[in-house]
Every structure is written in structure tokens, then in C-alpha cells.
Structure 1
Amino acid sequence: MTSAGAAEATPPEANSFQVDLRGLVDLLSHHLYSSPRVYVRELLQNAVDAVTARQALHPDVRVRIRLSSSAGGVSIEDSGIGLTADEVHTLLATIGRSSKRGGEHGLESARREFLGQFGIGLLACFVVAREIRVVTRSARTPDAAPVEWLASDDGSYTVRTLPDDARPEPGTTVHLEPRPGSEEWTRPDRVEELARDYGSLLPYDIVFSADDGTDGGAERPITDRPAVWDREYASPAARRVALNGHCAKLFGFTPLDSIDLDLPVAGVRGVAYVLPEPTSPAHRAGHRTYLKGMLLTDRADNLLPEWAFFVRAVVDTDTLRPTASRENLYDDETLAAVREALGGAVRQWLTELAASDPQRLASFLSVHHLGVKSLARHDAELFELMLPWLPFETSDGQLSLDEFTAAHGEVHFTRTVEEFRQIAPIAAAHGLGVVNAGYTYDADLLALLPTVRPAVKVTELDAGAVTERLDPVATSAELALASFLATARTRLDPHGCDVVLRAFQPVTMPALFLDDRQARHERDRATAQENADSLWSDILGSLRSAAPRARLVLNHNNPLIRRVAALPDPELTATAVESLYGQALLMSQRPLRPADSTLLNRAFLGLLEWATLSAVQGTTPREDQP
């Protein structure tokens, strides 16, 4: 019971969504589709699906799809399933409704073969059309009359029944009248080009004619089946020539090699072409992907693993899902499994190449070693297989790790290219094996090396390892320079740097700055402590470690070092030592701390002042002079 005066609830009023067709066209052309060119794909897709449905009912029916273009617009005619008047009202004017959905209008048994899935259909053609006219006759209802559906881009449409002679046979004809400004997309040469691009692998014969009187309406085939990778050839050489031509036409390069991609379980068949030029690992390759013979995209960047950036693939699939725009692949579990399997095919090609054609493998690696290194990081078996071939920059030159470890049982590596270039000449002269791990993937592979070569020891290069390999100076000579070394150590101690005297090559290098990761961490901690407030300074002070300090190794073989050591003025000696430290620090390309910059400035001004006074007085400044 309701209380007196209370309003009774009214039943809900049923309403339908209203769709602004102009707004929908704007959405399709500016947000869903990348270009108006997709309208040709939509026309071909609808025709192919209609023919597929017709063949499911009548397998022996003669299939025909004819695309044409003229100044008046674009037309496509098919001998497909057709529509009745009721189906025209229900399907053509309802967004999201498709004749492939099943139920009374669908053929569920054939749906797997349909290209269209989203029900946008002909409405997508409004991206270039002002008006769409459809004349259709149903093959499921033989006594049904032909029906005309005429739609305008203002959102209105009409439906009327036509005489039997308007279309004697079942099927559908669609005609597009271009909107002003879209004529370039409906020119005969452009339509033919787009049709070949999208439809060359479609399973039915499709022809094109230019109904503008230029060639007498001659029909030219659009489809070109079977795909080039599935054709029979007189010899492997003939197949290779055909594939090379196909690659040059699609991608604009002649490949180093081609890799067959055949996954019957996943419904994927195609070929991968190996690029003839190096490419960046960061570059996402665009692969050409067909869905049931219809071009989906030529920019699929998720089809192959990221490490396979050295190939461009062309595949046809009937299992992978397209995105709503039908311009890329939907990244789901199925695509992930296919991507892994296609990567396996590329890996297998590498394995077979190593076993059967080492010379061709060497040629390939000279161009694409980065891609193989990227793959080998996650595949110890492949890494071991590639060890004789993968190049690394070492202190002995450009070598494979197999060659390098044959000469050095212990492998040292630097993490930066700059550090390697500073130490490489010295390491080579003193028999120290150093690998440059500053390049992409090399540090990861060196960490993996002991798992495939257990006898090899891999360590990061540290100051101690280098110093031990340098020739010691005779005790008498070092004692004679004790005062000089004490001055140098006192001056550089505040900078967390020890001073060591050694004899090494090349003679032209007066000093060498060495440190390792722990020493750098300790230097960074000390710098942070100096600049912190009292609380953080105490905390950072408690973190002080006993890590080895950086070292300035002075080269006793270098004449400059001997002259500096012989200077009678301790202050000038200290300034010269600071200059040597600054020069060695710059050569190592380490980041300069504020204290280092101050030292370099002080040393430069000190030497400039000394040189100026010497020039003015003609003598070395006395000890009582500033």
C-alpha cells in the first residue's frame, strides 16, 4: 500500500540509441582508420564474405567479383548470398549488426571463413562517399525481388523493390558516389592500386576495369595466387630469385636470405626476409600481415620477437585476431604463442646456417650480430653455438669469444667504451685480456659465458688487476723518488686517490687513472657526505666502506714524469701532480666532481703563473716567491 498523495512509480520508457552519421564518419576517418584508403578493403571484404556465404549454400555456384571505377564513382559486383528487403532494413542500416552474426540471417558453419567481424560494413565507405547505392537479390529466397538501398551521408536512407530485370541473378552491386574532396581516392588508377594492395591473396578471382573509356573496359586480374612462397618452382635457385623480387617489390631491398615461416597448427604461412643493411635494435620492424588473404597491415610490429629486428616478414593467417580498425593484430595469448613460434623458426634458420654454411653465417653476422646477441642472451644453447662467430671488441682486436678465451683463461671486461679505449693499449702491451662490454648486450653475454665455458673466469676490470700486470720499478729507483711520491700522495689523498709508480707501455702516456665500481661508489659517497647536512653526513659517514681507492699510476718510462719528479720546488711538484691527475681523469672520461673541477682550475692557473714568472725573470721562481 502506498501512502495517500504519494506518486506511483511509472514503468520505464523504452528508447533506442540515436546515431549521428556525420559524427560516425568523422570518428571512422579521424580516429578508427588511419586513412580513407580502407574503404576499398571494406568493399572487397563484404563481397568476399557474401561469396563465401553463397558457396556454403551452393558449393558449385560460379564465383564472380568485379570492381570498377569511373568519373561517376566506384562499383563492386559479386555473385554472393544477397539480401532480402527485410535483411536490408535490419543489416545495412544498423551499426554493429552483421549478417555474419549467426541466427536466422547467418551461416554459423561458415563464419570462420568470414573476413568481417565488427558489423560496421558499408557505413565505413562514407569516409569517401556522399551516397551509397546497393542493389541486391537474395540467393536464399529465390522468389524474392531485387531490392535497392540508397543511403546519404546525412543519415537518411530509402529502400524500394525493383523489377526482376534490375538484377536477374542473386548477388549484390554496390556503387559509391564520391563526396567533394574525395575524388583522388576514387580515381581508377588509385582504386586498382588499392585493390591489388589489399586483395592480391584473396581466395576468389577478382577483376578490375576502368569504366572511363581509357582501355575499352578491359578487365585486369586483381588476385595473384598462390602466394609467392607457396608456388612451385623449377629449382631452389628459381625460388630464391622469385622471393628476392617479391621482397624488392614490397620492401625495396634485396634480402641477404629468406626464411620460411610455416605454422600449420596456428594457420600461419609466409616468409621472413633478412635485411641487407644493419638496423637499430630500437627500431620496431613493420611486418606485412594478411588475414585470410586480405591485407591487414604492413606495419605489424608485434608479429615477431623484438630481437628479430633484422628481418621483415610477410605472412597470411586465419587464426590471429584483428583490432577493431582491422589495421593491426590484437595482442592476445594466441599472438604471443605465434610470435614465439615464429621466433623459433628464425632461430632454427640460424642453427642450420651454422651447421651447413659457415661462410654465409659469417656474412650475416657481419651485418646483424646485434640481433643474434640479443637472442643469445636468453638462449645459452644458441650462445654456445654462436661463440665461434659473434664478434667482440677486445684488447687483442676484433675477435670471437672462442678465439679470445683460447689466449686468456681469465677475461676482464670494462662497462664503458671510454674506459676500454683508455686501458686497451696498456692491457695489450702487458698481456691482460680485456673485453669491451660497453656495447649493447655484450655485458649480458659475458655474464653468461661461464655457463657454457666453465673453465673461463670472467671479472670486471679493477685497478688492482691492471696495476699487478704493469712492470714494477726497481726498488732503488723508487726509493730515489720517495720524496716526490710522498708529495703526490699527500696532494691527492683528499681526492680519494692513491699514487703508484710503475713502468708501462706506451711510453707516451705519462699517467693512468684507474678505479673500479666500488671505488666509484665510495667517491660518490664521500662527495655526498661533504655536501650533506649534519644528519645525512652522519648517516653517510656510517656507510663508509673499505673499498679499494682509485689510483693514479705514474709511468716511470715517460720522460715528463722523470722531469716532474726532479723538480726542486715541492709546491710546483704538487701543482704538476694535480695537472697529471686532471689530465688522466679527463682521459678516462669519468664525470668530474666539483672538487675535481676546482683542482683542474687551480692546477692550470698555478702552471700558468709559474710559466709567466719564468718568462719574465728568465729563471725558475725562487722558493720565497708566490
Structure 2
Amino acid sequence: MKTEKKEVYNFQSEVKQLLHLMIHSLYSNKEIFLRELISNASDAIDKLRFESLSLPELYENDSDMKIQISINKAQRTLIISDNGIGMTRQETIENLGTIAKSGTKSFLQSLENKQNKKNELIGEFGVGFYSSFIVSEQVSVRTRFAGTKTNEGTLWESSGEGKYNITNISKKTKGTEITLFLKKEEEEFLEIWRIKNIISKYSDHITVPVYIQNYDDKNKTYFWEQINKAKALWTMSQSSITDDEYKDFYKHLTNDQNNPLVWSHNRVEGNQEYISLLFIPEKAAWDIWNRDNKHGLKLYVKRVYIMDNYQEFLPSYLRFIRGLIDSNDLPLNVSREILQNNSITENLKKALIKRSLNMLEKLSKNSKEKYQIFWNQFGLIFKEGPAEDHDNLARIANLLRFASIKNNSAEQKISLKEYVDSMNSQQEKIYYITADSYEAAKNSPHLELFKKNNIDVLLLSDRIDEWMMNYLTDFDGKKFQSISKEDLSLNKLTQDKKIKNDELSTEMIDFLKKVKKILGDKVKDVRLTNRLTETPCVLLSDSNEMTTQMAKLFSAAGQSVPELKYIFEINPEHMLIKKVSLIHDEKKLNEWINLLLDQALLAEKGNLENPHKFISRMNKLLILP
């Protein structure tokens, strides 16, 4: 075999950190390295099948796709080879010398913070190949990209200690061959029965046959034995698949070490023929909020792999759904652009959205505990639904969960149906409040009237909530109403009469006039209220104006926000208001009214434009007799 001079390269710095953590740490489940290498080999064969649709010559007269494993006990080596797409020299450097994925620092931090769960992280971050160094003192990779000349192969070698060698070699066959030089203490992985058990556990249902080289003692010959079913699980009848097989296939498909919460396996025949297998994970992916996060379904056409992470079948608010679709109707030489403009794709998307929502509805009815796990992990994402999918708004609304006064917990558990079913018989609307945090919402002075009259209020404290409520206008015939906005229905609801001037003392009427004069155009209006029990005053937004939380969202997004003019409501029964109303000194009264306004602003917005001025005014009034 002709070889050329070796070239030495340094690993990317993040890879060095990663390898150090892997090699110098203990793993309770070392066998995962084989799962990762088999998965990579399977992907390489899938990619060759796809590329060969337009370039059949890439098969190089070898269309019998397979993965082979051989063992040499004397040399303590384990060899995993495939006849898939292979890699060019540059791809070898890019794929094995760097972690070309965003969020690497987050991964390393997670790895360091979860010392007892490191095996759960392997694969989840696209670094499965490096798990081979858990059991190996040296790893070599011989590879050649399909369709290139035999002398254009590449040899990659490393002991995992910061450097690797690259050599140009000749390689007769396309694909990749990985040789693991096992550590002495890892000789268990040189036993055929051990390899068979691992393949059966993790890789039984990959679509590529896996063979192991065995020895026939009777005939004194070597032979290749297939050790996996190599049948696409999704093509099998549901009755023949066990729950454990579904769970194992999910783990193989997603590299997630947790079991799925629920799944849906569906075969459709007729005008459109396809198979879908959808899973809802138990745990959110580490980078699901990252803009570079790849999500979507794995796409097959007539059992031929087309692409990973195809996003056009599911909207963004369902991006936590994992799984695959195998269609008989899409063209085999399909491209991303064709798919995006294909009416068949649009019909498939509607069907898959329906199937996903069906899955969630069944989960919410059959297991509140599991649905709560789903909501705690993915509720923030699902809340994007009302804005994205108006066609399914009613179904999405039914699946939303909220915290509320009566629930008395920050955990979002109450459904809108449960809220409506427990409404006061005279209650016309679904009341809610938005705030920066659960504690801020729970302790808002706006709630005093509702607590007094035993009326439940939804407490919305996620950043997305205010945006979501712009699209969620009603449920089951009941309109939503923010309690921080002016609402005439409250008078009817509580049967309290509006405060009238003839029921007030002369002093309070005069006081109201003075407040209006002092505040001027700082507020939209000043009036007395009976909605407060423990707070001297509160700010309300006009029913036609932007709420405080929406203004914060606009501001955080760098957009200009119009000046908010609030309605300043005063509680005439509060001791502080009664005391302030008796002050005749104009300067002192001015200070008190502005202090009360600042207090109300602080309660409503969570901050003040000039907190120093507020503190100075408060200290001054505390000193005065």
C-alpha cells in the first residue's frame, strides 16, 4: 500500500477539552461508543443512497450496503467499517479535528456540571465519534469519498491527546474503516457475544445490516454473521412492535438517552400514502432555544433516506417533536426548494400537525403527570402556537396550562377548561395578569378585588405570554381580560356601585381635584376606586392602549415605544390616602402625591426612570413631622 508523509495537526481547543474530560473520567456505560460509531456508519450509507439517486456511479459496482465489525484479540483491535459515502481529506479534518457545531462551550460546561451523567450527553451534542476514546488508547480512520480515485484515500490517526496525523493513502473500497486500539482494561469489547448484545440493544432496527466476523471451529473458516434485524421499524405493523422496541428506536434516531413520553405510529393509504412515526421527548434538547438549533423530521421517500431535520412538515411551535416520515408521493430526486412549494408537502404538514395535536390531547387526558412533564419542558415553545397556527387555535388553547391565584403555585397546571368550569356564575370573562415574574404577578395590587370576591385570575409571567394573549382573544365563548386594563364588566361582576361624588366627603372631592392639578399630563386621568383593599393607589392602562408588558417587549426588541399614559386610581378608604388628603401645605402635598405615583409606577413597571429621586423624596417625607 502506497503511503505519503504524515502531516500533524492540533485539535481545535474545544476538542482538546472534550477529549481530556472523556479520557480522564469514569463512565458507567462505556458501551455507548459502539452505538455512536454504528450510527455514524448508518448515516454515511444513507447519504450515499441519496446522492446515488442522481449519481449512480457513486456505488462503484457495490450497491450491497452494509456495516462490518471484526475483532483481532492478539492486536487488541476492534474494526468497524462501512461502504457508505466516505470522506475527503478536507472533510476528515473538519469532521474529526473540530466540533463544527454552535454551543460547544455550553456542552463542555454541561459535561463538567454533570459528572455522574456524562454518558447521557454523548451523542446529544454531535460529538459521538470522540466517545471511541473512552475505551481506546489510539484510533485510526481510513476513508475514501465515493466516486474518487483509489489513491485519494485519507488516514487519520490520534491517541486523543491534543494532536492527530493525516496521511494520504490508497484505499480500494469507498467508505470508512475505523480501527480502535483498545485499552487493556477494555478487553471485554473483544468478545463477540458482548458486541452482539450491544448491537441488539442499540442498533437492531437501523435500516443497514450489521455483520460480525465469526469463526467456524468445525470447518476452520471465517464467515460473516448478520447480528441485527436491519428492517426499518416504521415499516413494520404496530402490533409486532413492543414498547421497548419503540423506545430503543427513538434513542437510536435522536441520540437521546431518555425514553420518549409518548409516540404515534401511523400508516396512511389512499390519495396520499405515507408512514409517520412521531415522538414527544421527555426532556428538551440542550440547544432548543439556539437560533442554529436544527429541528424537524427525518425524511424518507419510498424507504430511501433524503434528509435530516426537514422543518417544512411541522411549524416552529411543534419543533420539539422528533421522528420521521416516509412518503410514497414525493419525487425521489426531491430538493428542499421543490418541497417548499409542493402541494403534497402542504397536505402532509396539515396531517402531521393534526397527528401531533392528537398525541398531546391523548396525553393530557390519559396521564396528567406525563402531560405536566411535557408542559414543564416545552410549554414555552408551545405558547408560540396561537400566533403561528390560527387554524388550530381552539385545540392549542385547550392544551395550554397556566398558574393562577387559586392554584397557589408557580407551576403552570390549570387548563382554560378548568378555569371556565370553576368561574363565578356571573363572571363574563377570563381574567389574567402579565408580569415579569410569578412573584410579581401573585403580589400585584390589581389582584386585591379578585381575592376579595373569590375570583380566580391567571398569572402569566413568561416573556412570551403578553405576545401570546394578542392572539388568544377568547375561549369557550369567554373573552380574555387583562386586569391591569380598564374594564367596565368588573362593576357588574362584583355588584359594587360606582363611587359617586354625592357619596364622598367634601374633603375627598377637593383632594381629587388637587391630585389632578398636581399630576397634570403625567397621567391620563385620576379617579377614585373601590377595587383596592390594601393598596393606596394603582395604575391602569386604558382599554385601547398598549399594556406595560407589551411596551417592555417592544423596548427589549429595540423598537420605539409610545409614551404610556396611565389612569391613576386612588383608594379613598386607605389610611394613607385619608392622611394625605388632610394635608394643606401645597409643597408637602405635592411631594406626597408624586411619591404615591412613583409607588404605583414601581408596582406596575417594576422599575423607575429615576429611582434616586424617588428615594430622596421618600427620605425627605419620612423626616418631616
2:273 is equivalent to residue 282 of structure 1: no
The residue that corresponds to 1:465 in the other structure is 487
How many angstroms apart in 1 are the aligned matches of 2:354 and 2:547? 44
The residue that corresponds to 2:229 in the other structure is 224
How many angstroms apart in 1 are the aligned matches of 2:529 and 2:257? 58
Asked whether the 8 Å contact 2:209–2:230 carries over to 1, the reply is no
The residue that corresponds to 2:353 in the other structure is 347
> 3-state DSSP class of the match of 1:586?
helix
2:512 is equivalent to residue 485 of structure 1: yes
The residue that corresponds to 2:106 in the other structure is none
2:593 is equivalent to residue 577 of structure 1: yes
How many angstroms apart in 2 are the aligned matches of 1:158 and 1:257? 45
The 3 A distance-change label for structure 1 pair 177 and 352 is: closer
The 3 A distance-change label for structure 1 pair 575 and 307 is: same
The 3 A distance-change label for structure 1 pair 605 and 72 is: closer
The residue that corresponds to 1:592 in the other structure is 608
The offset of 1:377, in angstroms, is 3.9
The residue that corresponds to 2:448 in the other structure is 425
The TM-score, its normalising length taken from structure 1, stands at: 0.55
2:319 is equivalent to residue 309 of structure 1: yes
The residue that corresponds to 1:126 in the other structure is 154
The residue that corresponds to 2:114 in the other structure is none
> 3-state DSSP class of the match of 1:119?
coil
> 3-state DSSP class of the match of 2:535?
coil
How many angstroms apart in 2 are the aligned matches of 1:77 and 1:252? 25
Asked whether the 8 Å contact 2:276–2:324 carries over to 1, the reply is yes
Gaps of 5+ in 1: 1-19, 81-91, 97-115, 131-151, 160-171, 324-328, 526-539, 611-619, 621-626
With a CA cutoff of 8 Å and minimum separation of 6, indicate the structure with the bigger relative contact order: 2
Asked whether the 8 Å contact 2:526–2:568 carries over to 1, the reply is yes
2:225 is equivalent to residue 209 of structure 1: no
The residue that corresponds to 2:428 in the other structure is 409
How many angstroms apart in 2 are the aligned matches of 1:124 and 1:417? 60
Correspondences of 1:505-584 after superposition (within 5 Å) = 505=532, 507-516=533-542, 549-567=565-583, 569-584=585-600
Asked whether the 8 Å contact 2:313–2:352 carries over to 1, the reply is no
> 3-state DSSP class of the match of 2:229?
coil
Comparing 491-500 and 285-294, the one that deviates more? 285-294
> 3-state DSSP class of the match of 1:391?
coil
How many angstroms apart in 2 are the aligned matches of 1:286 and 1:22? 42
**Residues 484-527 of structure 1: CA deviation (Å, up to 9, x unaligned):** 3344333322633643222334x3222212234877799xx9xx
**Residues 522-562 of structure 1: CA deviation (Å, up to 9, x unaligned):** 9xx9xxxxxxxxxxxxxx9xxxx9x9942332222322222
The two structures, once aligned, show a CA RMSD in angstroms of 6.4
The offset of 1:207, in angstroms, is 1.2
> 3-state DSSP class of the match of 1:503?
coil
| Equivalent residue letter for 1:479 | T
2:612 is equivalent to residue 609 of structure 1: no
How many angstroms apart in 2 are the aligned matches of 1:511 and 1:67? 76
The offset of 1:243, in angstroms, is 1.6
The offset of 1:258, in angstroms, is 0.9
The 3 A distance-change label for structure 1 pair 512 and 195 is: same
Comparing 576-585 and 280-289, the one that deviates more? 280-289
> 3-state DSSP class of the match of 1:489?
helix
Asked whether the 8 Å contact 2:47–2:305 carries over to 1, the reply is no
The 3 A distance-change label for structure 1 pair 117 and 361 is: farther
Asked whether the 8 Å contact 2:512–2:526 carries over to 1, the reply is yes
Please point out which of 237, 242, 254 is paired with 1:239.
242
| Equivalent residue letter for 2:319 | F
| Equivalent residue letter for 2:512 | L
| Equivalent residue letter for 1:603 | R
The offset of 1:153, in angstroms, is 7.1
2:509 is equivalent to residue 503 of structure 1: no
> 3-state DSSP class of the match of 1:273?
strand
How many angstroms apart in 2 are the aligned matches of 1:415 and 1:599? 27
The 3 A distance-change label for structure 1 pair 123 and 516 is: farther
How many angstroms apart in 2 are the aligned matches of 1:499 and 1:174? 78
| Equivalent residue letter for 2:487 | A
The offset of 1:126, in angstroms, is 1.4
Asked whether the 8 Å contact 1:502–1:554 carries over to 2, the reply is yes
Asked whether the 8 Å contact 1:74–1:175 carries over to 2, the reply is no
The offset of 1:592, in angstroms, is 2.5
How many angstroms apart in 1 are the aligned matches of 2:540 and 2:225? 73
The 3 A distance-change label for structure 1 pair 519 and 314 is: closer
The 3 A distance-change label for structure 1 pair 199 and 456 is: closer
2:366 is equivalent to residue 360 of structure 1: yes
| Equivalent residue letter for 2:536 | P
Asked whether the 8 Å contact 1:513–1:584 carries over to 2, the reply is yes
| Equivalent residue letter for 1:488 | V
The offset of 1:117, in angstroms, is 9.5
2:278 is equivalent to residue 272 of structure 1: yes
| Equivalent residue letter for 1:227 | A
The residue that corresponds to 2:384 in the other structure is 374
How many angstroms apart in 2 are the aligned matches of 1:266 and 1:509? 63
How many angstroms apart in 1 are the aligned matches of 2:363 and 2:607? 47
The TM-score, its normalising length taken from structure 2, stands at: 0.55
How many angstroms apart in 1 are the aligned matches of 2:458 and 2:281? 28
How many angstroms apart in 2 are the aligned matches of 1:572 and 1:228? 80
The residue that corresponds to 1:106 in the other structure is none
> 3-state DSSP class of the match of 1:566?
coil
The 3 A distance-change label for structure 1 pair 247 and 577 is: same
The 3 A distance-change label for structure 1 pair 430 and 513 is: farther
The residue that corresponds to 2:125 in the other structure is none
Comparing 580-589 and 568-577, the one that deviates more? 568-577
> 3-state DSSP class of the match of 2:384?
helix
The 3 A distance-change label for structure 1 pair 483 and 391 is: same
How many angstroms apart in 2 are the aligned matches of 1:42 and 1:502? 68
How many angstroms apart in 2 are the aligned matches of 1:64 and 1:279? 31
> 3-state DSSP class of the match of 2:487?
helix
The structure with the larger Rg is: 1
How many angstroms apart in 1 are the aligned matches of 2:546 and 2:299? 54
The 3 A distance-change label for structure 1 pair 600 and 222 is: same
Asked whether the 8 Å contact 1:487–1:574 carries over to 2, the reply is no
How many angstroms apart in 2 are the aligned matches of 1:553 and 1:62? 79
How many angstroms apart in 1 are the aligned matches of 2:513 and 2:452? 29
How many angstroms apart in 2 are the aligned matches of 1:93 and 1:571? 82
| Equivalent residue letter for 1:253 | N
The 3 A distance-change label for structure 1 pair 255 and 122 is: farther
The offset of 1:24, in angstroms, is 12
Comparing 291-300 and 363-372, the one that deviates more? 291-300
Gaps of 5+ in 2: 14-18, 20-35, 92-143, 159-164, 408-412, 552-559
How many angstroms apart in 1 are the aligned matches of 2:341 and 2:359? 26
Identity of aligned residues (%): 12
2:262 is equivalent to residue 257 of structure 1: yes
Correspondences of 1:31-70 after superposition (within 5 Å) = 40=41, 66-70=68-72
| Equivalent residue letter for 2:538 | L
The 3 A distance-change label for structure 1 pair 64 and 359 is: closer
Comparing 560-569 and 390-399, the one that deviates more? 390-399
The 3 A distance-change label for structure 1 pair 380 and 201 is: same
The offset of 1:585, in angstroms, is 1.4
How many angstroms apart in 2 are the aligned matches of 1:304 and 1:520? 32
